[in-house]
């Protein structure tokens, strides 16, 4: 599968995003030839965590959320990490950005605690998805159908549970993103 010509957005919290849940999908998109934009609350650098508590790596943020719109991208990746996901879902701008991907019927990939942001965006109602097991009740209370599976795809939403699911999650997001119409192609048809 190739993502050549695809512009993918990936979110990262200023601190607390789970490192492998950011790094591995990021690398999968780049390996598949996609263009990637790292987005956070503001520009600068973001520090990730491992297992929520141990320091991870530092990554450069390409764009602040106030400087981007869903229309500029073909798909979105939301990494997890309890701390990072909580910071992302607390931002009304991040939540609006995520909501716009669903309104535009663009694919979104979310892993671990990232569905918290989907819940805030009103995007889980009547959808089948998975997540880290501790947020199952949150998903069900928001109208989602939670399942304990490695990777789940429902109407362009790709979800997985934990870092151990990353190989399947990354393969599936590349597959789904490759099959989606690019923003450039959509614009040329308008």
Point out the catalytic residue in the list 82, 112, 145, 170.
112
- Are the beta carbons of 28 and 59 closer than 8 angstroms? no
Does residue 145 have an active-site annotation? no
**Residue among 79, 83, 35, 43 at smallest CA distance from 62:** 43
| Closest of 54, 48, 52, 1 to residue 24, by C-alpha | 48
113 a catalytic residue: yes
29 sits in which H/E element: helix 19-31
- Provide the terminal-to-terminal Cα distance of the chain, rounded to the nearest Å: 26
**Pairwise CA distance, residues 131 & 150, whole Å:** 9
Of these residues, 82, 113, 145, 170, which one is catalytic? Answer: 113
Q: Which active-site residues does the annotation give?
A: 112-113
């Amino acid at each position: 599968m190739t993502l050549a010509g695809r512009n993918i957005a990936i979110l990262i919290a200023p601190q607390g995003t789970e490192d492998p849940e950011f790094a591995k999908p990021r690398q999968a998109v780049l390996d598949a030839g996609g263009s990637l934009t790292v987005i956070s609350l503001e520009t600068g650098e973001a520090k990730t965590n491992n297992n929520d508590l141990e320091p991870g790596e530092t990554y450069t943020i390409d764009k602040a959320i106030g400087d981007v719109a869903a229309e500029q991208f073909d798909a979105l990746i939301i990494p997890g990490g309890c701390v990072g996901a909580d910071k992302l879902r607390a931002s009304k701008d991040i939540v609006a950005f995520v909501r716009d991907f669903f309104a535009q019927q663009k694919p979104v990939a979310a892993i671990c605690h990232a569905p918290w942001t989907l819940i805030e965006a009103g995007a889980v109602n009547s959808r089948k998805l998975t997540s880290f097991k501790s947020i199952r009740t949150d998903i069900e209370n928001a109208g989602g159908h939670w399942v304990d599976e490695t990777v789940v795809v429902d109407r362009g939403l790709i979800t997985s549970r934990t870092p151990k699911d990353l190989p399947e999650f990354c393969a599936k997001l590349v597959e789904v993103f490759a099959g989606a119409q690019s923003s450039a192609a959509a614009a040329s048809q308008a």
